[in-house]
Amino acid sequence: MDRIVFPNDHPDDYSEWYWKNGLHDACISAVETVELPFDYERFSSNGYKFDRNILKLKIDAENAVYDREIKEIRLFNYKVLTPDITLEGRKKIWWLSDRLVDDGKNYVLKIDLQDFDSTPKEFTVCIKFDRAEVDR
């Protein structure tokens, strides 16, 4: 079962957007990346963050073992930490498991995935991001 880990908190403290029951056997049916224009009005030197980009994962959770309500996951200000692996241009990607770590500043999501049309068939992608939104 998927589990969220907070280094400074009790492991049962989940973010309200996280799919804490797990997405095993859900399918990522589409991946979209959006680059947003620089927002000069919202930027300031005191460290206020503005949205720079979004990674959208369309989820078909009909066959998921646990959480079947997830429709889309949006990761804001993301950076893929596994640059040799791309999610774009794939037909179907099966979700095996994930680990979410909150370091107090950012989240890091490590997703174990399976794509029968690629080599290797099973792989892990790591994504660092500031915040997330989930459509259920």
The helix/strand/coil state of 74 is strand
Predicted pLDDT at 9:
38
Look at residue 57 and tell me whether its pLDDT is greater than 70.
yes
Range 94-122 average pLDDT:
92
pLDDT class for 40, splitting at 50, 70, 90? low
pTM of the model: 0.82
Is the pLDDT at 124 greater than 70? The verdict is yes
Domain span including residue 16: 3-135
- Domains in the chain: how many in total? 1
Q: What percent of the chain has pLDDT over 90?
A: 51
Instruction: Write the CA distances from 22 to 8, 11, 80, integer angstroms.
Output: 22, 15, 21
Over residues 63-80, the mean pLDDT reads: 93
